[in-house]
Structure 1
Amino acid sequence: MADAFLQFMVRKLDSLIQKEFGLIWGVDQEMKKLSSLLSTIQAVLEDAEEKQITNKPLQNWLRKLKDAAYKVDDILDECATEAALLESNRQNSSFNKKVCTSCLTPHNVMFRHRIGSRMRDIRERLDEIAEERLKFHLMEGGVERRSRVIENRQTGSIITQSQVYGREEDKERIVECLVEKVAGSDNVSVYPIVGLGGLGKTTLAQMVFNDERIMSHFELRIWVCVSEDFSLSRIIKDIIESATGSACENLELDPLQEVLQSLSHEKLRYLLVLHGVWNEDQEKWDRLKYVLACGSRGASIIVTTRIQTVASHMGTMPLHQLSGLTEDDCWSLFKERAFRREKEERPNLVALGKEIVSKCGGLPLVIKSLGSMMSNKSEENQWISVVKSELWNLPQHESSILPA
């Protein structure tokens, strides 16, 4: 999501540069440097957002970038307002346009001084942030990498793990709500599940989707991966294909809407899971919701997202904030992945394993990943080596187990 935000700001900057407002305000070079810096940082954002789960310094770096990006956005909003005023003056003035835009009025002088100072300050801050990225050895992204990331985020409705730890209470709460509390609702109910990447939103949605009570209550169950591309035509096409079990022609939006609404004439009580929603565009969601306003009483939608504003826009019920696993559940999950029978009796590995788990922040994805790394390692020094390479950000003095 940060990637899209930076891309949006680069477009705003480039638009101001092309219209020569930077020249008028005396900040043209600062704008160009700022645009270049944002593009440089944007190139490594995808890799940074993937790796931040197990990397505390990288999380801090992204947080600093986010703070700086908001300041840039504030500056650009102020520039856009001033640019609109200049455009209005150009259109209304009987003088030569170039003369009009270069008039050194007190307002223009004050604005140039203020915006120039703020632009230099934030550019210097972003210089530091861009330089700091080098120590993380991040890969630059591109079309191929973006396609790979999106493909990796694609998920299905089938639970692929033998046992799920610590999510039974969450599942019961959602199932009870969908089967009992909103079963008689005339309007489509939208239940948002919100949480950090790696917390298990997908797994929880799969558990609900495959619960026997859900399967018997809903006449139609549909699972659609949304990801960053909130394309109405693609989402509707995926819904139709999931509902009918057959491929749908690559139609334009209007014919797709007609097909979907023709299916709604059966008035089925459906459950739709929109998995991995990133786009915060309220208008797009309203258009999709209008098309989905079909089915019998109790029709429901589950939305999984990392972004609370997405949940606020889409949800008709209070969001379900997913928290990290408890210490006991974390240990059970790690032990299942990491320990073979012969390792369980070795107190030193058990102690080291618990130390590893304590640093994972309750994130199931991180625990599974590290546990799997340990599964084919039987020596303590091998475990320590993995810890130092994967959790290198942890100060050694925090652990009585990790040697200096």
Structure 2
Amino acid sequence: MDEFEKLKNTVESIKAVLLDAEEKQEAQNHAVQNWIRRLKDVLHPADDLLDEFVIEDMKHKMDVVHQNKITKVIHFLSPNRTAFRRKMAYEIEKIQKQFDDAVKDMSVLNLNPNVVVVDKKNNVWRETCSYVLESDIIGREDDKKKIISLLSPNEIQNVSLVAIVGIGGIGKTTVAQLVYNDGEVQNMFENSMWVCVSDIFELKAIMTKTLESLTKNKIDDTLSLDNLQNMFRDSLNGKKYLLVLDDIWNESFEKWTQLKTFLMCGAQGSKILVTTRSKTVAQTMGISDPYVLNGLTPEESWGLLKKITFRDDTIRVNRNIESMGKKIAEKCRGVPLAIRSLGGILQGKSEEREWINVLQGDFWKLCEDKDNILPVLKLSYQNLSPQQKQCFAYCALYPKDSVIEKDELIQMWMAQGCKSDSRR
């Protein structure tokens, strides 16, 4: 077996062991956590060395493609080629020794290199849009009606603002979607636009998205702000509009004033509906009395959890599971995102033991802060296979709200060794 095959097998062995080790890491096994760091310190240089080997081999093949037999032999025995092979042999031997030393601890940590990984579908977070499936929503009818009343044409201003404020995951975007798609609201305004702003508040980008939502056409991103404003005025043509600015983080009064100047060209009664986590953002925009969105009631929370977990098959819900389910739902403090995350984990699970594991999970201890739902969301991450975790972590390289090409992302996963083949 040559050096390349030996190195390749070593890397594959390290990755196989890591898969099982990372499963056990989530059990708060600190010895395994330390061992994983140690093994990754071996894997990364091994991966680099493997790439170097492939590149050198490609260069070698290009060099000899037009050579005769004699020059091929001379090239193979050249000092540079020989030095490279010696260097590779030395580096491989060093990596192999480090790996062998780490493997000695495997039996102590009860690790298995032959773990079977279930290939589940990976989900990528996407930019928000105006569409919502109302049948999937529970408990927001009153909120929708109250916000619609705030949008009613009772203002003397041409353009006025309404804000929905609430913690992350509470359902601000969902309520805004319900309002946006309501028939009464659609009849109230001649034009409706939806723009996801997020944490990067860039005036030109927001105006471009607004125009694209208004005209339903792709806008040239090289246009100046002056051209964009003229296009916006011409397209509106003095009509009454509704603009939803979803997920705003900007607290700069100057930036908001610049955007507001562009938007003040609608007919009397035009409205801008804003969703944000921060009351400061609302105040910056001149909204003194924002609509504070509260969590679901315990009954609504259990209804949502039951709907996600069992769908229409409520026959399977025995009394014990229902009792545990209500306690789990209550622990989510009315936050739909947390409820949906746990519902996804419990979906298809009818064994009481599986529900007990979630109800008594250690992650609840980290949820003492009423606004902190991250420990609940982390449970969804923990429920992924090791390969899925690598794929999910890789997505963190993309900026928030990026639009990612599916096939390109899969190829990048495969290139980085996060995914072994192109199966979805």
* TM-score of the two chains, using structure 2 as the length reference: 0.54
Aligned to 1:181: 154
Gap runs ≥5 in structure 1? 1-147, 396-404
CA distance in 1, matches of 2:286, 2:131: 24
Q: Cα RMSD between the aligned structures?
A: 2.2
Structure 1 position 276 matched with structure 2 position 276: no
Tell me the amino acid that sits aligned with residue 175 of structure 2. L
| Aligned mate of 1:192, from 163, 169, 187 | 163
Aligned to 1:263: 235
Aligned to 1:329: 300
State the Cα deviation string for residues 340-390 of structure 1 (Å, max 9, x = none). 33322x111011101101111110111111122112111011122234457
CA distance in 2, matches of 1:386, 1:316: 41
CA distance in 1, matches of 2:131, 2:362: 30
State the Cα deviation string for residues 129-187 of structure 1 (Å, max 9, x = none). xxxxxxxxxxxxxxxxxxx99x72511111135242221111111112212433xx233
| Aligned mate of 2:330, from 340, 350, 358 | 358
Gap runs ≥5 in structure 2? 1-121, 368-424
| Aligned mate of 1:202, from 173, 176, 185 | 173
Q: Is the alpha carbon distance of 1:239 and 1:394 closer, same or farther for their aligned partners in structure 2, counting shifts above 3 Å?
A: closer
| Aligned mate of 1:305, from 276, 287, 305 | 276
CA distance in 2, matches of 1:355, 1:311: 34
Tell me the amino acid that sits aligned with residue 305 of structure 1. T
CA distance in 2, matches of 1:320, 1:280: 18
CA distance in 2, matches of 1:336, 1:173: 25
Tell me the amino acid that sits aligned with residue 352 of structure 1. M
Tell me the amino acid that sits aligned with residue 200 of structure 2. D
CA distance in 2, matches of 1:180, 1:233: 29
The secondary structure found in structure 1 opposite 2:275 is strand
Query: Which consecutive segments of 4 or more residues in structure 1 shift more than 4 A?
Result: none
CA contact (8 A) 1:219 1:270 kept: yes
Tell me the amino acid that sits aligned with residue 292 of structure 2. Q
Tell me the amino acid that sits aligned with residue 302 of structure 1. L
Q: Is the alpha carbon distance of 1:394 and 1:249 closer, same or farther for their aligned partners in structure 2, counting shifts above 3 Å?
A: closer
Q: Is the alpha carbon distance of 1:296 and 1:334 closer, same or farther for their aligned partners in structure 2, counting shifts above 3 Å?
A: same
CA contact (8 A) 2:282 2:288 kept: no
| Aligned mate of 2:347, from 359, 375, 386 | 375
The secondary structure found in structure 1 opposite 2:131 is coil
Aligned to 2:140: 167
CA distance in 2, matches of 1:256, 1:152: 29
- 1:258: Cα distance to partner? 2.6
CA distance in 1, matches of 2:346, 2:287: 43
Total equivalences in the alignment: 243
CA distance in 2, matches of 1:317, 1:186: 16
CA distance in 2, matches of 1:163, 1:377: 20
CA distance in 1, matches of 2:165, 2:190: 26
CA contact (8 A) 2:302 2:326 kept: yes
- 1:316: Cα distance to partner? 3.9
CA distance in 2, matches of 1:171, 1:259: 32
Aligned to 1:242: 213
CA distance in 2, matches of 1:186, 1:199: 30
Q: Is the alpha carbon distance of 1:390 and 1:210 closer, same or farther for their aligned partners in structure 2, counting shifts above 3 Å?
A: farther
Instruction: Choose 385-394 or 283-292, whichever is displaced more.
Output: 385-394
- 1:240: Cα distance to partner? 0.7
Q: Is the alpha carbon distance of 1:358 and 1:186 closer, same or farther for their aligned partners in structure 2, counting shifts above 3 Å?
A: closer
CA contact (8 A) 2:208 2:228 kept: yes
CA distance in 2, matches of 1:322, 1:316: 15
CA distance in 2, matches of 1:160, 1:315: 32
Looking at CA atoms only, which structure, 1 or 2, has the larger radius of gyration? 2
Aligned to 2:386: none
CA contact (8 A) 1:223 1:239 kept: yes
Aligned to 1:156: 129
CA distance in 2, matches of 1:232, 1:321: 26
CA distance in 1, matches of 2:150, 2:229: 29
- 1:205: Cα distance to partner? 0.2
The secondary structure found in structure 1 opposite 2:365 is coil
| Aligned mate of 1:212, from 183, 192, 206 | 183
Instruction: Choose 380-389 or 191-200, whichever is displaced more.
Output: 380-389
Identity, in percent, stands at 42
- 1:254: Cα distance to partner? 2.9
Structure 2 matches for 1:84-103, cutoff 5 A?
none
